[in-house]
Amino acid sequence: MKLVRVGKVGAERPGIIDAEGNIRDISSIVDDIDGTALSSQSLAELSAMNLDDFPRLDGDRFGSCISGVGKIICVGLNYVDHASESGFVAPKEPVLFMKASTSLCGAFDNVEMPVGGEKLDYEVELGVVIGKTAKNVSVENAAAHIGGYCVFNDVSERAFQLEGTGQWLKGKSCDTFGPCGPWLVTPDEVKDISNLDLQLTVNGELRQTANTRDMIFGVPELISYISRFMTLQPGDLIASGTPAGVALGMKPPVYLKPGDTMELSIEGLGQQKQTIV
């Protein structure tokens, strides 16, 4: 299934995409696309629906494909080539940091240059949304805790992140720094999460291209590892890391500026497009 949230900011309605590509309003079944909607019982109910019985959902804005996110856990340096371009060796265990849930926005929303921002960067990433509470889970059982996958752009302000009293949290958490979606794709629609092409362009120029098989730590490993340190709850989002090609790694760096447009995609999970304002 492809689950969506359509409507103006703060007034999104839950929907599902039918076989013809139409969006059907499922607000009579679920209040929102959130952790509750991703329970096994809820997903089974949604899967059994005859979508022709539900009205079409009109609207031209896709909101963040997941609502009510308690926490966003990001994985740094999870592709060898990105670690190298950033000046680090490949980590021996996952590098974790957090991103504020208030950074989330729609896949086609504008990305705002924050006050004082000067080194804006992009990162195409596979997003993994938790569907079942996970605490100290094994790698073998990790997949049972996944509610869905999505495209995620881990927008970053590198001066905030790395310079002065730089902190990854504040360099990652500005409003609109988390375009998410357009769809939340349930695991049954993804044949092999470890073999998906992803890419990102800036103003039509290819900057990032890779495959999820290039990740140092795969999705089951990440869920198992993170669940050792914190309980993962339904609706939590894991941003699994980005490949090489970020602006920071260019020589010299070519950071984003107002008017620039990013387009990014992951095979089977959809496309995004944002303009810097």
Write out the CATH class of domain 64-275. alpha beta
pLDDT of 165 reads: 87
Report whether 126 contacts 112 (CB < 8 A): no
Report whether 173 contacts 153 (CB < 8 A): no
Give me the count of residues in the chain.
277
- Identify the H or E element spanning 96: strand 95-99
pLDDT of 154 reads: 98
pLDDT of 87 reads: 76
Of 64, 72, 130, 122, nearest in space to 243 by CA = 122
The number of angstroms, rounded, from the C-alpha of 254 to the middle of its chain's C-alpha atoms is 23
**Structure-derived torsion over alpha carbons of residues 254, 260, 266, 272, reported in degrees to the nearest 10:** 160
Of 39, 257, 261, 258, nearest in space to 130 by CA = 39
pLDDT of 85 reads: 79
pLDDT of 88 reads: 75
pLDDT single digits (tens) 76-123: 999 988 877 777 788 899 999 999 999 999 999 999 999 999 999 999
Sequence-distant (≥ 6) Cβ neighbours of residue 58 within 8 angstroms: 6, 23
Residue written as tokens 């705002």? 112
Both structure tokens of 216:
């140092």
Distance CA 124, CA 104 (A): 14
pLDDT of 84 reads: 79
pLDDT beneath 70, residues of the chain: none
Give the phi and the psi of residue 202 in degrees, each rounded to 5. -125, 120
Distance CA 47, CA 267 (A): 22
Distance CA 264, CA 152 (A): 9
Distance CA 116, CA 110 (A): 18
pLDDT of 259 reads: 98
